[in-house]
Chains A and B, each alone.
Chain A
Amino acid sequence: MSTVVDDHNHEAHHDHKPSGITRWLFTTNHKDIGSMYLWFSLIMFFVGGAMAMVIRAELFQPGLQLVEPQFFNQMTTVHGLVMIFGAVMPAFTGLANWMVPMMIGAPDMALPRMNNWSFWILPFAFVILLSSLFMEGGGPDFGWTFYAPLSTTYSNDSTALFVFAVHIMGISSIMGAINVIVTIINMRAPGMTYMKMPLFVWTWLITAFLLIAVMPVLAGAVTMVLTDKYFGTSFFNAAGGGDPVMFQHIFWFFGHPEVYIMILPSFGIISAIIPTFSRKKLFGYSSMVYATASIAILSFLVWAHHMFTTGMPVFAELFFMYCTMLIAVPTGVKVFNWVATMWRGAISFEVPMLFALAFVILFTIGGFSGVMLAMTPVDFQYHDTYFVVAHFHYVLVTGAIFSVMAASYYWLPKWTGHMYDTTLARLHFWCSLISVNVLFFPMHFAGLAGMPRRIPDYAVQFADINQITSIGGFAFGLSQLLFLWLVIKCARGGEKATAKPWDGAEGLEWTVPSPAPYHTFETPPKVE
């Protein structure tokens, strides 16, 4: 991954780097840090995945077989936390580190030392979080949403560790976001105007602003939980004059923009891949930018749709229902733009394109179930059932995770300098595509039939559906080992990749050799 092709590099003497562990500990190079983020994210993906396997194994049959209910709750909680803060968000930050400077013609991120810090505090956060599982009394078991009073009055002694872990994750994301914003504002190559930036850069710029706006609110929420639990305050304690419902308002004020933090960069990735393999320019570039910005603004006005059953006045329910449905408009603009890009294009189905197409279709399914959940009257039926679980796994697994896979297959040759094994990649795609639908599609029906989420046991009539779901889950989990194998194989060797392995690709990252030299664009490129 780190070898340098000297004949392409005119400044090879700048290219030496410390070897061994110190290279990775002290590095300020955006490519090194990007790689570390991506590896960290992959490790966390398997850690969170292992927890999902525990959940699916327990749910394979009705009754309690393998784990205690309290441990089951810890698994659902930590699975959510690890996948959101450990897998999806670091994957996007890793991609931003690797690609944003190369896409805008910058030599590195604007604040390289802070970049090193924002990565290296992350493993500590997850060591704290995961080690709490092995403490007496167990780890967090109140759901990743840590609703009060579950996380205050009824939580176990390790809650402080959970709070500090979330604080560190938040600081890491905020530093990453600041870095991305400063880089994009200040480090663009001459001629790279805002409206010429690739959409991945645009979507990340908007995501970074969302992170800066809401991660501090999350930090505030966990701090209030901390003081309520340990220092006798009553933010969320009704007996002391607080209000547990207020917790949900504060949490979802963070939580809803957070779901767009986890999907906007995906939109950027897909907007890079579909034009490449359709051999056409992206349809409606500026409308894509405006749609992304509108989604980001609307995301601040819809938080209470997570709380329709808390007894809000009808007016508030209608307001949040209509605002939520309004988000379908800019999202629809995006989906139609991708389809219009493919229209009459010379399409070829390389692996990144396969994942991008699966993204467009399956993310849209997740979007539709989202519109169903947005309707207040029907939400009373769907609330806290497996329908919700099906919905957010369609948008996060076949949405966010598939887009990260697509990005990896798209840029792996640039990162490693080797072409990956496309047969293996296709096998990974088809196994994932089939198993992920076997896994998540039946959950819709379980939810409509009334199966509650986050419960280790269930009524016998749900047995068949859960068995199918679990089989899909094991298959999806195993399929990801193919990806791990493929990435390792590709990093170690393989057919040499050219500077531009995809003939339809556009962008500055394809003008540098593969693998990308340790330092790129030390003299800024000229953008027409």
Chain B
Amino acid sequence: MSDKRANNSKIVKRLLLTVAGMFAFGFALVPLYNVFCEVTGFNGRTNNEPAAVSQHEVDKSRTVRVQFITRTAQGIPWKFEPEIKEVRVHPGEVRVVNFLAANPTPDDMVAQAIPSIAPAEASLYLNKVECFCFNQQPLAAGNDAKMPMQFYIDPDIPAHITTFTLSYTLYDMTANATPEALALLESTE
């Protein structure tokens, strides 16, 4: 009987370790998911650090249509739209597209734009050299701003991707503003 008891506690210990391990695994799924998305382009994320300026030859033989969509999340009544709804670019060619934002409210606000690409596969080939989405964007009450986004498409982009859509959702981050954004906000006043 005492042998069996020892044996019981051994199994229980192993099972409890498994439970703890699976609880940790649940949280480990978060970084794993991020790495997975980065590697496969799954879920259409873009680079959030500036990419190196294009060293590629421009591939004049084909053009890719890039469409822009903007929307604002709940609680941020800004005007937010692209200057141009779509562009046709050659792979390797560097382009700038401006996005216009206006804060019609009587309050100073800080916003963050979150990009997403459909089809997700295209996100592997979009390189942003400069983007307003890399940082929080402050706007004083009643002000507007022209926010640039500079990008090029990797010439390795598969032939079957002829069009993709880049969408930005603007979120209100006034309550969680970074010090840099707040400093910018003060300098404009």
Contact = CB atoms under 8 A, between A and B. Distances in A.
Interface string A488-503: 0000000000000000
Contacts of B42: 312-313, 316
Interface in A306-325: 311-313, 316
Interface centre among B19, B42, B74, B121 (most CB of A within 10 A): B19
B23 A216 contact: yes
Contact of A181 (B11, B20, B22): B11
Interface residues on A, range: 35 or more
Contacts of B40: 313
A160 interface: no
Contact of B43 (A212, A219, A235, A245): A245
Interface residues on B, range: 35 or more
A153 B23 CA distance: 24
B18 A243 contact: no
B73 A239 contact: yes
A238 interface: yes
Nearest to B4: A186
B120 A219 contact: no
A231 to B, nearest CB: 13
A217 B173 CA distance: 30
B87 interface: no
Chain A interface helix/strand/loop/mixed: helix
Given A217-B22, A239-B171, A181 B15 contact: yes
B118 interface: yes
A510 to B, nearest CB: 26
Contact of B8 (A111, A177, A220, A246): A111
Contacts of B15: 177-178, 181-182, 212
Given A238-B169, A243-B33, A253-B29, A182 B22 contact: no
Nearest to B40: A313
A216 B22 CA distance: 6
A205 interface: no
Interface string A220-248: 11001000000010010011100101100
A313 B119 contact: yes
B169 A220 contact: no
A43 to B, nearest CB: 28
Contacts of A253: 29
B2 to A, nearest CB: 13
Contacts of B7: 186
Contacts of A214: 22
A246 B26 CA distance: 11
A249 B36 CA distance: 12
Interface string A361-388: 0000000000000000000000000000
Nearest to B21: A216
A454 B87 CA distance: 41
A174 interface: yes
Interface in B1-50: 4, 7-8, 11-12, 15-16, 18-23, 25-27, 29-30, 33, 37, 40-44
Given A246-B33, A311-B118, 5 more contacts: A178-B12, A182-B12, A216-B26, A232-B176, A313-B42
23 contacts: A111-B12, A174-B19, A178-B12, A181-B15, A182-B11, A213-B18, A215-B22, A216-B25, A217-B22, A218-B26, A219-B23, A220-B23, A220-B25, A224-B30, A238-B169, A238-B171, A239-B172, A240-B176, A246-B29, A246-B33, A311-B118, A313-B120, A313-B121
